[in-house]
Structure 1
Amino acid sequence: MTSDEQAKFARLTFLIAGIILAMVLATMIFWKAASGFFLIFGGLLLGTAFSGLARLPRKLGLPRRAGLVLVYLVVVGGLAAAMAWGGITLVQQMQSLVRLMEEQLQTISGALRDMGINLGSEGQSADLASLLPNPAGIFSSASQAVFSILGGLGNLFVVVFIAIFVSWQPGLYARGIVSLFPKSKRPRIAETLHRAAQELILWLGGQGLSMTVIFLVGWIGLWLIGMPSAFLLALQAGLLAFIPTLGPFIAGIPIVLVGLAESPQMALYGLGVYLLIQGVESNVAQPVAQRWMTALPPALTLGSQLVFGLLFGTVGVALAVPVLAVIKVLVEELYIQDGLGGPALPEKDR
């Protein structure tokens, strides 16, 4: 081997080793600071929602930034008003609701043990933390949940400020990312980032519609049957609808448990309302939303939630699908389309 070949081989070896080392370091940093990265992604997600909402005032003739200011005022003012008006009361009611459900789980566990079905030690209490939003508050811990119900505002402020900065000057941050690539690739990278942002806007719009429908139908239905804490139960069902597949299933558990605290008949009525909620959401809200949003494969959605949940806990489950939506666009555009020449055609089109 000549000296030039040796030098070339040494450079190639050094480059490969550097890439591997960089990937290992990046993985370690993400693993150690996963909660911080999810907070940042939560801010980007909220900023995308701000940008999407600002399109409505623009259709009325308002400039983009005037529309954004209006959205900021409505969202932040609404949160502040909700906290000032009923924040403490809602926290107390949620804590009482959680205690009630824990008592019901204990009762059910005792009844099953009397039937010879052992679910664990008699003194062991059911862990509702994995089933319900944290009653301590919104953004109470980035490692537990980025989107909770009420509480510690420190992480909330971080997410909101990131969202405001990104939505106010999206081009600044997009140009920073695009500038990391060679000039010949920059137009394609910018186009892909724009498409990923549009995909997030459409996905958030669809989820927002589903959450609203579930909350309103649930509140009315639970109120009509006389279910205790109807508002809170409908609120948690609407919030959990943000998590596709798993969220709606988890939302039905508190409704049935609270109904059991009243009577078996009330539990059946609550189950009926829950089935009605899912029927309206599946047959009305989702078909309307999917006219504009790209549907993700159900198996891929559920698989990503399970993997992210095992790795990062509740926050991983909550943000798995929007992260997957972004990754899907990047893989489709930059790898499958540009790298491989396009997706495989169905059998009938070959």
Structure 2
Amino acid sequence: MKDEVEEELTKKATIVTAVVLAMTATAALVWAAAPALLLIFGGLLLAAIVAALARPLRWAGLPRNWAFWIVVGFLVVAIGGGLFWGGFTLVTQFNDLWHQLREQLHALAKTVSDMGIPSGQGDKSAGGNGANGGDGGRSLGLDTLLPNPSGIFSSASQAMFSVLGGLGNIFVVVFIAIFLIAQPDIYRRGLVSLFPKSKRRRLNETIGAATEELILWVCGTGISMAIVFVVTFVGLWLAGMPTAFLLALQAGLLAFIPTLGPFIAGIPIVLVGLSESMSMAVWGLGIYVLVQGVESNVAQPLAQRYTSSLPPVLTLGAQAVFGVLLGTLGIALAVPLVAVIMVFVRELYVEDTLGGIYDERDGAAP
């Protein structure tokens, strides 16, 4: 009897150890492959964007494949035509905007340095013998408050490698999206087939719900981006702001990143305004505040009425965690990724395992 008990305990200990090792190995693999997994999810997100744009065509009665490929062809023609007809102008305006931002960063650094806060350049010129001591005040210098311009504007070779790497990632994302659009059922059936038959139907339903959630998030975000772009462009154009189109374009694109994107978009607007005059900077700040008001009180409620939304704390927390772990790409894809994960957690864990979402009446006395 004692031997049987010991054998049973040994068997259970072996199973637990194997499960722990398997989970650890899986976590390590996911961590090592996190950048590639983000690119795969980027392909899923691009496919969801195409699906969202194809919905009106499907509502009109077109078959699914026809609707999808019409959208893909339209996007290719629109992007290619835009680059062909306006590419040179956009590049020229972007270079002008880049130089303006660079000059304003240097001017802002000089202004703060003149106010008595030592900067790295000032310490070097003073030979490190100023009032702050032998360290030249670097511990309290401007480089602790503002990014170093020499670090922001890297060498041409580094920029070229970054551009090539970015283009490679873009091609990976685009081809993943194309393959998913062409044959989505193959990948869906393959994933569901990895699980026991008793779980397949429920898992298939959950994948469908997650896909719908991602499409709804894309629709809501697209509405917000369009409203931010239009309102920003009209406001900056009426104020006479230079490179108004590019500033509005970057504001609309950064609206893709909830919470953090709008804040980042306001910085170039104010800096370009400073390159003209203080009054133009004030106008830029006012337009930025107006755009945020329109987005918070008009765009987001309008989008969330028909689409999906996440709690603000969850949104900001996910961006902070993914930003620390995975960098800029993690910040950009944190919210849609969490939206998809939440569907699986809600359906497969909260509903199926725990019995549903908590209700205050559940804890009430009978």
Do both share a fold (TM > 0.5)?
yes
Per-residue CA deviations over 1:212-234 (Å, capped at 9, x if unaligned) read 11111111111111111111100
1:251 aligns with 2:265: yes
What is the match of residue 102 of structure 2? 102
* Preserved CA contact (<8 Å) 1:211 1:242: yes
Structure with bigger helix share is 2
CA spacing shift, 1:127–1:192, aligned 2, 3 Å: farther
- TM-score (ref. length: structure 1): 0.88
Could you tell me which amino acid in structure 2 is paired with residue 305 of structure 1?
A: Q
1:178 aligns with 2:192: yes
1:164 aligns with 2:167: no
Report the CA distance between 1:306 and its aligned residue: 0.7
Once the two structures are aligned, what percentage of the paired residues are identical? Answer: 53
SS in 1 for 2:306: coil
Cα distance in 1 between the residues matched to 2:319 and 2:120? 27
Cα distance in 2 between the residues matched to 1:60 and 1:236? 33
Cα distance in 2 between the residues matched to 1:116 and 1:345? 58
Structure 1 residues 103-112 or 241-250, which shifts more? Answer: 103-112
Could you tell me which amino acid in structure 2 is paired with residue 87 of structure 1?
A: G
What is the match of residue 68 of structure 1? 68
What is the match of residue 126 of structure 1? 147
Could you tell me which amino acid in structure 2 is paired with residue 109 of structure 1?
A: A
Per-residue CA deviations over 1:142-190 (Å, capped at 9, x if unaligned) read 7xxxxxxxxx533222211211211232222111121121111111111
Report the CA distance between 1:6 and its aligned residue: 4.6
Structure 1 residues 14-23 or 47-56, which shifts more? Answer: 14-23
Report the CA distance between 1:256 and its aligned residue: 0.2
- TM-score (ref. length: structure 2): 0.84
Structure 1 residues 184-193 or 108-117, which shifts more? Answer: 108-117
CA spacing shift, 1:85–1:7, aligned 2, 3 Å: farther
Cα distance in 2 between the residues matched to 1:140 and 1:15? 48
SS in 2 for 1:238: helix
Structure 1 residues 314-323 or 340-349, which shifts more? Answer: 340-349
SS in 2 for 1:180: coil
Per-residue CA deviations over 1:216-273 (Å, capped at 9, x if unaligned) read 1111111111111111100100000000000011110100000001000000011111
* Preserved CA contact (<8 Å) 1:48 1:167: no
Is there any run of 5+ residues in structure 1 with no aligned partner, and where? 131-135, 143-151
Report the CA distance between 1:116 and its aligned residue: 2.4
Structure 1 residues 238-247 or 282-291, which shifts more? Answer: 282-291
CA spacing shift, 1:2–1:93, aligned 2, 3 Å: farther
Cα distance in 2 between the residues matched to 1:345 and 1:117? 55
Aligned pairs, number: 335
Report the CA distance between 1:93 and its aligned residue: 3.0
Match of 2:305 among 278, 291, 301: 291
**RMSD value, Cα:** 2.5
What is the match of residue 263 of structure 1? 277
Cα distance in 2 between the residues matched to 1:267 and 1:202? 36
Q: How does 1:137-156 map to 2 (within 5 A)?
A: 140=163, 153-156=167-170
Report the CA distance between 1:118 and its aligned residue: 4.4
1:34 aligns with 2:34: yes
What is the match of residue 332 of structure 1? 346
